[in-house]
Structure 1
């Protein structure tokens, strides 16, 4: 090994939202991780804006919640969409992401969505990952890689430097929708595929006064799609074509409906709109995450970015457990089993709605799920869950699940600023309020948290739920069995792929 060669536990290829999140979540769990990204920084043309409350929960867990800047969008502005003559002109019908849900007083999360543009979110994630020990190498391209039974060897090159090797136990490919890693592995994809190409112009203008009614997305007749990033920047999406600056300004003024204000054009972009899901999320010691695993067109569900970050979170705790020798490598098989169905469901939901993408094909005939069901109520079925049968739907509202194994543990306040969710994510936790379960947890080497709101978990006062390090319920016993310790040890061994 040359002096410049590197050895690490996990190599992440790609420094977008999914890749940087993977490095962050791995470093937070104490895993030695190196990330390489070919670009020197984030794209000046943001793609994602608006991260759902589930992602907010994950960032809360790693200590980022208080570091996120507040925006109008994080306070609930800018999420409504209408057809319009122009920004200042007549507004027509409003389109909804999901059918209007019944009003509910259920509080699903201790946090709200995060209204931060991608070019501002990525540096926050990078800085936090570095603070926690991640080795992040920008302007560094992976030239080639190979894998064997014991690990992965990658050849990388920094800007203007000599190529060198990185040897890792595992590789996480978050290298975008074209993913050279996925292509080399020969992993095929299924879905709508290519739909159309769009042009965009990012501009800055004083238009906040037109956001007072909460509308932030405008389908402008004979122009295109206009939306705000909530920070003074706007983007206008246009049909494919060549536009000089004068034509772009004409389009912007037509979309706004006035031409008497200052407009600063920041940058332009060309976007390929497509939809597909990889037919496998892993091959050997290589795992796909984010756009490399699923290309989901922009939608008001925010599925592309949010789903990619949640991929990284699901994979991180499993890699950490296997690398620490706490779990067998079979646990990693549950990454594909759990995350690929979620991506497929998101693909289906995008095309089952009137969200602007059905111009490229027929709408899907499918059950529509409420946003809160998609964000907080997707179901995992895998060897890391006991009791999630095939008869169950892929998503439901959390109160309908009532603590069902395979779903995110429910939120409830247990102190003024402390949620049940704050009890989880570091390790395995048994939720119970009975001394025999406390004894069983101690014997199994699992933390035990006494929670009074056992009914939210679908438990009697003598029941217990085993919650995984990602905050998902792995198993539950609605009541007290004859042998609590034996039941817990059996469930823990099965769902954690434990080595003990």
Structure 2
């Protein structure tokens, strides 16, 4: 069989890639060796930037109401038990300065991974993606024209031929290993055991703390849906021992506790030395293994990888852009992964027991979620002198950053103008005349100041909602300036 893009791996990154590609009309097939999501929820909590991406594909209304309250699930304290004495709160970064700036029309989503994955999977199928669970990739090869993969489900092995392959096959990534792509980073840190259980403990979450470092026991946190996980030292436990550990962590033994499952987790940190090789592109944990952090870098960054890849693959496959545009995937996303790796170990986030803290500037959470900078051939004007992340109001519409949010009318954000195709934001008739012959959508808005523009300026926004180029004022030849910028940034070459 043939498909445009083959995705290997049905976790958050792989399923998101299939969904975003199908939404853009790309023929995509996903194979996943497991029959469904892991019974252990793993990641929990998706930031508002991911919420924006899901809003664009029409998923926002389908997500269950968020249970996130201010700081819920993110604040962490040391404690003798859940109901016992609490000690100092541990901050993962300096508390953010209070600001009146509204960064997004979306909120974070407090949903466990095993609940989010089926929602993404169903949406991908609804949009036309071919999702094949219980299907394992046995081998693959690539040539100048595409990728061939041998896969097997319930029956005999068969071949899938694709133009491109996205490897979203986890932190061990057999595909990455077969390609000979190395990794750099902190590496292996430690191994932990976990027990997932259900208990009625919501009354102990009223103060907004959702993570607890329990003396002489381990790390206790909630998934916000009645399920809790207790992380323990790496050894074998029978059920009686697990219950004893749970009761010790809670601080009482008179509650009904349902043990759901257990797990064994290898905690490591590494970023692939390259995110692509030939026609194969890495995404999610295959590209960057980032240990759990209160920045939510692992799952969220993987979904954003998929989003960055989807519009570029669609443009290349549709013949709108040269294949060189795909080179900008590594140029844009690998520095973000490296920055997240740095920030995890620059913060007091529980991982520095395995080594010395990194001496590096700390970036505000909002800067990491909304304000990372892309430098690539698909961006004009993002020089090496600029920091890797800032708050959106500090960027003020800088090319290489996410287009800023502002309300156009009640319920409609500037962000709702983007993510389908190329958009020119301006408020001057000469810019509309310049955009039309290029097939660039023209959007007239009055909130030009948040883009750092004068009343005669314009910003060119990419299909992923990032600013490719801007002209702060009206140049002598608006049509020529826009055409040159569009030709360069959409091709990914200079």
Q: Shorter-chain TM-score: which interval?
A: over 0.9
Q: Measure the CA separation in 2 of the matches of 1:97 and 1:63.
A: 33
Q: Distance in 2 between matches of 1:419 and 1:72?
A: 23
SS of residue in 1 equivalent to 2:232: strand
Match among 349, 356, 377 for residue 371 of structure 2: 377
Match of 1:3 in 2: none
1:51 to 35, 46, 49: 46
Asked whether 1:27 is paired with 2:36, we answer no
Q: Equivalent residue for 1:119?
A: 114
Q: What's the secondary structure of 1:93's corresponding residue?
A: strand
Q: Does residue 27 of structure 2 align to residue 39 of structure 1?
A: no
Within 2, Cα distance between the matches of 1:242 and 1:498? Answer: 52
- The CA RMSD measured in Å over matched residues stands at 0.9
Alignment partner, residue 484 of structure 2: 490
User: How many angstroms apart in 2 are the aligned matches of 1:155 and 1:74?
Assistant: 47
Task: Please name the residue that 2:147 is paired with.
Answer: 152
Alignment partners' CA distance in 1, 2:492 and 2:171: 34
Pairwise CA distance, 1:100: 1.0
**Secondary structure of residue in 2 paired with 1:261:** coil
| SS of equivalent to 1:226 | strand
* Other-structure match for 2:456: 462
Find the partner of 1:205 among 166, 179, 199: 199
Q: Is the 8 A contact 1:326 1:498 kept in 2?
A: no
User: Which residue in 1 is equivalent to 2:72?
Assistant: 77
Residues 328, 492 of structure 2: 8 Å contact kept: no
Instruction: Please state if 1:17 is matched with 2:12.
Output: yes
SS at match of 1:73: coil
Residue 197 of structure 2 aligns to a residue whose secondary structure is strand
Per-residue CA deviation, residues 283-332 of structure 1 (Å, 9 max, x unaligned), is: 00000000000000000000000000000000000000000000000000
SS in 2 for 1:38: coil
* Equivalent position SS for 1:346: helix
Contact 1:110 1:419 in 2 (8 A): yes
Match among 97, 100, 104 for residue 105 of structure 1:
100
Does structure 1 retain, via aligned residues, the 8 Å contact 2:324–2:492? Answer: no
Matched, 1:240 2:221: no
Instruction: Determine the C-alpha separation between the residues in 1 that align with 2:91 and 2:398.
Output: 29
2:435 is equivalent to residue 427 of structure 1: no
Q: CA–CA distance in 1 between the matches of 2:72 and 2:95?
A: 17
Partner residue of 2:124 out of 115, 129, 137:
129
Matches within 5 A, 1:264-303: 264-303=258-297
Counterpart residue number, 2:251:
257
C-alpha offsets along residues 214-257 of structure 1, whole Å, 9 cap, x if unaligned?
10000101100000000000000011111100000010000000
Distance in 2, Cα, partners of 1:237 & 1:76 = 21
Structure 1 match to 2:346: 352
CA distance in 1, matches of 2:91, 2:149: 46
SS in 2 for 1:194: strand
Which residue of the other structure, out of 319, 325, 330, is the alignment partner of 1:331?
325
How many pairs align? 493
Q: Aligned in 2, Cα 1:478/1:71: closer, same or farther, shift over 3 Å?
A: closer
How far is 1:75 from its partner?
6.6
2:401 pairs with 1:407? yes
Say which SS state the counterpart of residue 292 (structure 2) adopts: coil
1:73 to partner: Cα distance? 2.5
2:206 is the alignment partner of 1:220: no
Aligned to 1:163: 157
Classify the secondary structure of the residue corresponding to 2:100: coil
- Aligned equivalents of 1:71 and 1:448: distance in 2? 34
Aligned residues of 1:438 and 1:448 also touching (Cα < 8 A): yes
Q: CA deviation at 1:136?
A: 0.1
Deviation at 1:498, TM superposition (A): 7.8
Aligned mates of 1:138, 1:74 — CA distance in 2: 35
Q: Which of residues 83, 89, 92 in structure 2 aligns to 1:94?
A: 89
**Unaligned residue ranges in structure 2 (runs of 5+):** none
8 A Cα contact 2:285 2:298, kept in partner: yes
Shift of 1:101: 1.7
Contact 2:69–2:208 (8 Å) recurs in 1: no
Once residues 421 and 62 of structure 2 are traced to their aligned partners in structure 1, the CA distance between those partners, rounded to angstroms, is 24
Unaligned runs of 5+ in 1: 1-5
- Residues in 2 aligned to 1:78 and 1:341: alpha-carbon distance in whole angstroms: 28
SS of equivalent residue, structure 2 residue 33 = coil
- Tell me the residue number matched to 1:312: 306
Q: Alpha carbons of 1:248 and 1:459: their partners in 2 closer, same or farther (altered >3 Å)?
A: same
Residue 74 of structure 1: how far off its partner (Å): 6.4
Q: Is the 8 A contact 2:377 2:492 kept in 1?
A: no
User: SS where residue 455 of structure 2 aligns?
Assistant: coil
Aligned-pair CA distance for 1:415: 1.1
- Deviation for aligned residue 1:77: 2.4
Q: Would the aligned equivalents of 1:432 and 1:463 in 2 still touch at CA under 8 Å?
A: yes
1: CA distance, partners of 2:262 / 2:403: 42
